Amino acid sequence: MKATQRTVRLDLAEPLRISRSTMATRDAVWLTVEHGGSRGHGEAVTSVYYGLDAPTLGRLLADAATDLLRFGDPESALDALRAGALAGEENPPAVTAAVEAALLDLVGKRAGSPVHRLLGAATAPVAATARTIGITSPVRAAAEARRLTASGFEIIKVKAGTPDPEEDVERVRVIRDAAPRARLLLDPNGAWTADQAGALLPRFAELGVEAVEQPLAPGDPEALAALAARSPLPVIADEDAVSLEDARRLAGRVHGVNVKLAKCGGVHAALRIAEAVEGSGTALMLGCLTASSLGLAPAVHLLDRARWADLDGHLLLAHDPWTGIGGTDGFVRASELPGLGVRRRGPEEETA
């Protein structure tokens, strides 16, 4: 096997403001693993929150690629990764997830099978995805909600956490008026205190919000569980649900956990989390970072395990350099093509 990598810039169609930051662009590092004439691809994206810049990702992925050379085929390398036997066990989850994605893509192509079938699903998963509206003016929020629902989106996720909570309430109110049949999710990204959340959640419940992600600052899962016990609407842990241990700690105590492959370590790690919370009353949300279709594709093959899908990161880009998971009509879907089922756009379109 041999491996190469490439760093690219992903620009957003417009800046996305959340409670802690505003993002207009991010870098992605693509890892390509080749064996026997076939190639598998994975993507890791930079993250200020997780302290990962492009040089760091490039260095860690290069180290992982060097370790892959000691395996005779991608199947054995994938087994080793899942057993924790690859070098760099302390790698950030985003790096592990990207390496696993490239190997899954390559193994699927060699077997002539899409990834979801390798994972035991007989048919290609498909689900409605949430589409994010960032912190913006009520006028722009209402216009965006009308545009999204006209395009087929059934679920809208509203970012919250402004210094004046009344702005959040008004944003949700105008979105509800503009899209009366849409399912609404709310995400303050940990911006509220317990007292604020206790006062605000009943108001959002009255506006028909279906669930709220991480209303409290991360770092105190006990406080989040206590809030969930008295909340009038479901509480989903995000920043407080990173690892398998986090999920086990919160199973049955919150209504959902947001599983992002880049924060938990990939498909295998996500499946272990799904198994850990099964039957506990805690459901899965599949989330993502802003990334290309390549970066989101592994999660799309897990859609049949989730109650909520929030896989719109590729839809926020000005130009998605990959294609294959849909989403513009409000639904993301796994491909029946071998591997991850994504292809490069344009004259350099990837076919192997």
| β-strands 38-45, 22-35 pairing | antiparallel
pLDDT reported for residue 351: 46
Residue 88: what pLDDT? 60
Alpha-helical segments (H) within the chain: 54-68, 74-82, 93-111, 115-118, 138-151, 165-178, 194-206, 221-230, 244-250, 261-264, 267-277, 293-300
Sequence-separated contacts (24+) of 239-243 with Cβ below 8 Å: 239/189, 239/190, 239/214, 240/214, 242/93
Q: How far apart are CA 141 and CA 175, in angstroms?
A: 6
- CA distances for 311 relative to 28, 54, 188, 339, angstroms: 17, 23, 18, 19
Angle between helices 93-111 and 267-277 (to 10 degrees): 100
The candidate with the shortest Cα–Cα distance to 101, out of 289, 265, 290, is: 265
- State the 10-residue block means of pLDDT for the chain, 352 residues long: 95 95 96 96 95 95 91 95 78 95 98 97 97 97 98 98 96 98 97 97 98 97 98 97 96 98 97 97 98 98 97 98 98 97 77 47
Q: How many helices (H) and strands (E) does the chain have?
A: 12, 15
